[in-house]
């Protein structure tokens, strides 16, 4: 029997759909329901690698973790990864099919509908409940004719819809009532409830607002008024959610992450955000690097383009100067490539920061894998870490040879990654998720003269899922939610 389905849709982007979906995944999972997340199409440079090497949006991987299941490519059959203005790499059921302009993708999108339904059908056969996340606004009328992610999916799955609005940004009545009013009658009927998200203050004071949303034309039952949840520790999905660290300590040491125009997988640094004595900041200009204890160059979907931006912005020279004056520089994936002497991509070639003795050659072949590595570097910072086991994942096109590697594969010492600079403090690696390895992160912070917070355990994300589920259980009408599910046909 196919699983029941429920769509979590939004009035616009960043209303909290992904977080609510993750919280509901944990809420149902801990009540014994076999639940899986699904988002037909996602646009994000924050990707995750599944066990089979396929890529999906990190939000769906996080939701799978909340559901206590392994992520699969069926949870996000279409992933768009912006590479440059108006162009994105398209990943279909985990594998890249090419880079397309927005116009070309718009023309081909209908041909991908079969991949969407195939993946959704497989999830429904394997689970009792599939929580479908919509994208952007549910009422993008100009896109309705080519929709493959919002109401068309709900119709296909016969899924009831909960519509989420963001009261913190204002206009909650226009958001919810207006969005529902713009839909065809059949789709209006599919919206079975509203969720008012990100409420600040005493939600009891919004009782009149609830009455208005439920009784006005195009109204619907309010399933919950969800208060703003601070420091939830669940990684953000997109660059729109960039935030600096949250350390309240006035003596916290500043660590700067360079906010590249095409930054990817910036959730690599989430564990640093929650270090008590780290003031994590995103840097867009040279002055932002002032008094930084360390500088991090993150991953990017456009390495050469972002390298040119570094030069134009003045950050290139500032990073070189600070490195020469003793500030450690760390590069992850594309940032690792930028730290080398040269990057070659077809006919294009750019000189890098020359902090690391490496050269990168791009190729069409893409590496996507989950990895476990052993530290083989034995000087500087890594002297105390030699032999340590770390884990993470790789997503990259480039091939980089290093004469001073950081890591080797656990079962093959000839398979190496990363490079250590002559200063013994600056390094680069293709390994995403490195700072989620608590022992490594704490040793690195100590090398910077920063006391690590023993309470900052990356494994505590499970506690964060439970806290989020508790938050939703307290503020949503769970009985009403169950009625909506029970009244819907499993199909």
Q: What is the pLDDT of residues 92-132, one digit of tens each?
A: 999 999 999 989 998 899 999 999 999 999 999 999 999 99
Six-digit token string for 258? 């360079």
Which residue's structure tokens are 């939703």? 472
Nearest to 40 by CA among 143, 121, 190, 153: 153
Q: Is the dihedral of CA 270, 275, 276, 280 positive or negative?
A: negative
Instruction: Identify which of 242, 228, 315 has the alpha carbon closest to the alpha carbon of residue 46.
Output: 242
CATH superfamily of the 4-233+463-487 domain? P-loop containing nucleotide triphosphate hydrolases (3.40.50.300)
Amino acid 260: pLDDT: 94
User: What pLDDT score was predicted for residue 186?
Assistant: 95
Of the two residues 70 and 79, the one the predictor is more confident about is 79
Please report the pLDDT score of residue 346 as a whole number. Answer: 84
- Look at residue 392 and tell me whether its pLDDT is greater than 70: yes
The better pLDDT of the pair 385, 234 is held by 385
The percentage of the chain sitting over the pLDDT mark of 90, rounded to a whole number, equals 74
Whole-angstrom distance, CA of residue 186 vs CA of residue 427: 57
- H or E stretch covering 445: helix 438-447
The residues, ordered by sequence, that sit 6+ positions from 200 with a Cβ below 8 Å of its Cβ are 168, 227, 228
CA distances from 191 to 25, 124, 214, 490 (A): 20, 21, 12, 17
User: What pLDDT score was predicted for residue 128?
Assistant: 92
Q: Which CATH architecture has domain 242-456?
A: 3-Layer(aba) Sandwich (3.40)
Please give the pLDDT value at position 363: 85
Q: What is the model's pLDDT at position 490? A: 43
Across 260-274, 319-333, 477-491, least confident range: 477-491
Compute the distance between CA of residue 45 and CA of residue 345 in angstroms, rounded to an integer: 20
DSSP 355: S
| 4-233+463-487 and 242-456 share one fold | yes
Helices (H), 202-326: 207-215, 270-273, 303-313, 315-324
Which residues are paired to 374 by β-bridges? 389, 408
- How far is residue 60's CA from residue 38's CA, in Å, rounded to a whole number? 7
Q: Any idea where the domains of the chain sit in the sequence?
A: 4-233+463-487, 242-456
pLDDT at 169: 95
Q: Cα 393 to chain center, whole Å? A: 14
Instruction: State how far the Cα of 322 lies from the Cα of 312, in Å rounded to an integer.
Output: 17
At residue 68 the predicted structure's pLDDT band, cuts being 50, 70 and 90, is confident
What pLDDT, on a 0 to 100 scale, did the predictor assign at position 244? 58
Q: Which residues contact 475 (CB under 8 A, 6 or more apart)?
A: 203, 224, 225, 226, 227
Q: What is the mean pLDDT of the chain?
A: 92
What pLDDT score does 398 carry?
85
Residue 287 has pLDDT above 50, yes or no: yes
Nearest-angstrom CA–CA distance, 266 and 21: 21
End-to-end Cα separation, the chain, in angstroms:
8
CA gap 271, 235 in Å, rounded = 9
Q: Spell out the alpha helix ranges (H) of 127-171.
A: 151-157
CB 408 within 8 A of CB 374: yes
**Bigger pLDDT: 239 vs 26:** 26
Q: What is the pLDDT of residue 97?
A: 95
Q: What percent of the chain has pLDDT over 70?
A: 96
Mean pLDDT over 334-355 rounds to 94
Note the pLDDT of residue 491: 44
The mean per-residue pLDDT over the stretch 354-375 comes to 92
Q: Render pLDDT for 257-283 as a digit per residue (tens, 0 to 9).
A: 999 998 888 878 989 988 999 999 999
Q: Please give the average per-residue pLDDT across 149-155, as a whole number.
A: 97
Is-above-0.85 flag for pTM?
no
pLDDT tens-place string over residues 177-197:
999 999 999 999 999 999 999
Taking the CA of residue 195 as centre, how many other CA atoms within 13 Å lie in the half-sphere pointing to its CB? Answer: 28
Give the Cα separation of 29 and 67 in Å (integer): 5
The first and second tokens of residue 406, run together, are 């950081």
The rounded distance, in Å, linking the Cα atoms of 430 and 295 is: 17
Dist CA 20 CA 39 (whole Å)? 13
Q: Each residue of 203-255: pLDDT tens digit?
A: 889 999 999 999 999 999 999 999 998 767 787 665 445 555 555 578 899 99
Catalytic residues: 333, 432
């Amino acid at each position: 029997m196919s699983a029941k389905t429920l769509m979590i849709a939004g009035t616009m982007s960043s209303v909290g759909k992904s977080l609510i979906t993750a919280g509901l995944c944990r809420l149902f999972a801990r009540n014994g329901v076999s639940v899986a997340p699904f988002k037909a199409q996602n646009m994000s440079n924050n990707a995750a690698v599944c066990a089979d090497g396929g890529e999906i949006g990190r939000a769906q991987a996080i939701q799978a973790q909340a559901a206590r299941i392994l992520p699969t490519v069926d949870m996000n059959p279409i992933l768009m990864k912006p590479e440059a203005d108006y162009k994105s790499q398209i990943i279909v059921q985990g594998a890249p099919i090419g880079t397309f302009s927005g116009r070309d993708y718009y023309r081909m999108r209908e041909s991908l509908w079969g991949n969407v339904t195939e993946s959704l059908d497989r999830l429904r056969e394997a689970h009792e409940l599939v929580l479908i996340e919509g994208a952007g606004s549910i009422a993008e009328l100009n896109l309705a004719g080519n929709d493959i992610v919002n109401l068309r999916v709900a119709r296909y799955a016969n899924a009831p819809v909960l519509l989420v609005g963001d009261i913190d940004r204002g206009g909650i009545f226009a958001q919810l009532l207006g969005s529902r009013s713009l839909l065809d009658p059949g789709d209006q009927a599919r919206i079975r409830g509203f969720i008012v998200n990100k409420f600040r203050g005493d939600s009891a004071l919004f009782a009149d607002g609830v009455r208005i949303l439920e009784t006005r034309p195009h109204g619907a039952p309010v399933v919950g008024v969800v208060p703003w949840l601070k420091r939830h520790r669940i990684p953000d999905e997109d660059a729109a959610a960039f935030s600096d660290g949250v350390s309240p300590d006035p003596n916290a040491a500043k660590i700067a992450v360079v906010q590249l125009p095409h930054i990817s997988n910036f959730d690599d640094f989430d564990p640093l955000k929650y270090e008590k004595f780290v003031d994590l900041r995103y840097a867009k200009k040279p002055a932002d690097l002032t008094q930084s204890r360390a500088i991090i160059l993150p991953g990017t979907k456009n390495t050469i383009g972002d390298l040119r931006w570094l030069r134009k912005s003045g950050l290139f020279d500032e990073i070189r100067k600070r490195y020469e004056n003793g500030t450690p520089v760390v590069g992850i994936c594309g940032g690792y490539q930028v730290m080398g002497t040269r990057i070659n991509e077809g006919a294009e070639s750019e000189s890098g920061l020359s902090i690391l003795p490496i050269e990168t050659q791009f190729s069409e072949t893409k590496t996507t894998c989950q990895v476990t590595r052993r530290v083989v570097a034995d000087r500087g910072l890594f002297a105390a870490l030699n032999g340590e086991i770390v884990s993470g994942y790789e997503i990259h096109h480039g091939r980089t040879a290093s004469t001073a590697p950081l890591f080797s594969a656990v079962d093959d010492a000839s398979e190496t990654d990363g490079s250590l600079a002559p200063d013994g403090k600056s390094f680069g690696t293709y390994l995403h998720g490195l700072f989620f390895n608590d022992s490594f992160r704490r040793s690195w912070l100590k090398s910077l003269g920063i006391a690590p917070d023993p309470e900052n355990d990356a494994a505590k994300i499970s506690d964060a899922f439970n806290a989020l589920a508790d938050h939703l259980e307290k503020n949503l009408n769970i009985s009403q939610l169950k009625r909506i599910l029970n009244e819907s046909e499993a199909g």
